Amino acid sequence: MSVIDEVGRERVQDAVRRCPQLRHLDAAAVGEVARAAFLRHYRAGEAVFREGGPGDALFVLLRGSVVARLGSVDGDVIDLGAALEGHAFGYFEVLCPGPRTEDAVAVRASTVLVVPAAPALRALRGSPDTLLALAQDLVRIVGLQNRARSGLRLRVDQRVAALLLELAAGADVVDLDGPQALLAQRLGIARQTLNAALRDLAGRDLLTVHPGGRRMSLDRDGLARHASAR
d(CA 168, CA 162): 10
Q: Which helix (H) or strand (E) holds 181?
A: helix 180-187
pLDDT confidence of residue 7: 46
pLDDT at res. 86 = 92
Domain that holds residue 135: 6-147
Are both 143 and 162 inside the same structural domain?
no
CA-to-CA distance for 56 and 116, rounded, in angstroms?
6
Residues 79 and 133 in one domain: yes
pLDDT on residue 147: 60
pLDDT digits (tens, 9 = 90+) for 61-91: 999 989 888 765 545 566 777 888 899 999 9
Which of 121, 147, 173 is a domain's end point? 147
CATH number at residue 28: 2.60.120.10
Q: Do 131 and 214 belong together in one domain? A: no
- For the chain, residues with pLDDT lower than 70 are 1-7, 71-78, 144-153, 178, 185, 188
DSSP-based three-state secondary structure for 136: helix
* Number of domains making up the chain: 2
Same domain assignment for residues 103 and 71: yes
